[in-house]
Amino acid sequence: MRAKLIAGNWKMHLTLAGATALVEEFLGSYRPKPDVDVVVCPGFVALSKVRSLIKDTPLKLGGQDVFWEEEGAFTGKVSPAMLADVGADYCIVGHSEARGRFGGGQVDPNLLPFFVETHESLHQKIEALLYRAITPILCIGETLAERDAGRADAVVEQQIRGTLQGLEPSALFGVVLAYEPVWAIGTGKVCEAEEAGRMCGIVRETLRDLSDDDVATTARILYGGSLKPDNAYAVFQQPDVDGGLVGGASLNAASFAQIVHAA
């Protein structure tokens, strides 16, 4: 049986003081379970501090992105070696916000070219993370326009194939996938539990076709996108959903604890 995985993506929120307060409050109500893994993904500047706060707990640490080179003249980038050195166990890659695919009007359209993540760059990042024994959490998902056009399944399949094509099944054992419909991220729009489960099933079948039954059966597939305490339990009941990638609700200790409890 696949252990559930709940990952909190703090995005661009919290100073060191805020990160400290959030972790301490969460730990006050967190009750570890052997079949539920919990990861917190703070901003880069808070990674070391958060690691020190959770070092004697079952909580795991995750980065929000990575660059694929170990070192070099890449100003502003964070390498897999740096993540490994600070103790990161997981790293998010390919989040829709890194791809320039936003659910609302967060960014001026003229600035969207700033976000230029591609299948090729994601492939490089995943290989680099696996080399450092850091588990990638690969995000995939469609926009509202793509869903309305009846292309949701095809877009998700294309994203998986475009990124993971060429990786050996042995490598794919170390990858977590997170289905996050772009239209439900930070918008308040809700993907019904049954549809979330169906889309995660598409992810699993694509992974099976790309690799083999063993990889598809053991891979953990998460759902993300306005995941909250009031809908988490129904989503986690879906047979192909193995947990959640939690955004806004992970910034509230009580809400995040309730989601973990639902898992």
Residue 133: what pLDDT?
97
Residue 87: what pLDDT?
98
For the beta carbon of residue 98, count every other beta carbon within 10 angstroms.
Answer: 17
Residue 180 a catalytic site member:
yes
Marked catalytic residue, from 71, 95, 157, 205: 95
CATH number at residue 135: 3.20.20.70
Identity of the residue numbered 173: F
* Predicted confidence (pLDDT) per residue in 25-69, tens digit: 999 999 999 999 999 999 999 999 999 999 999 999 999 999 999
Residue 263: what pLDDT?
96
* Predicted confidence (pLDDT) per residue in 142-186, tens digit: 999 999 999 999 999 999 999 999 999 999 998 999 999 999 987
Task: Indicate the average pLDDT of the chain.
Answer: 95
Residue 95 a catalytic site member:
yes
* Predicted confidence (pLDDT) per residue in 75-104, tens digit: 999 999 999 999 999 999 999 999 988 877
Cα-based distances in Å from 181 to 32, 40, 112, 152, 246 = 29, 21, 18, 9, 13
Q: Which domain holds residue 258?
A: 4-262
What is Dmax (Cα atoms) for the chain?
49
Rounded distance between C-alpha atoms, residue 102 and residue 105, angstroms: 7
Residue 112: what pLDDT?
84
Marked catalytic residue, from 117, 142, 157, 180: 180
Residue 13: what pLDDT?
98
* Predicted confidence (pLDDT) per residue in 205-226, tens digit: 999 999 999 999 999 999 999 8
pTM equals: 0.96
Residue 214: what pLDDT?
95
| Overall number of domains in the chain | 1
Residue 64: what pLDDT?
98
Q: Which of 108, 125, 103 is nearest to 184 (CA)?
A: 103
Residues 138-145, mean pLDDT to the nearest whole number: 96
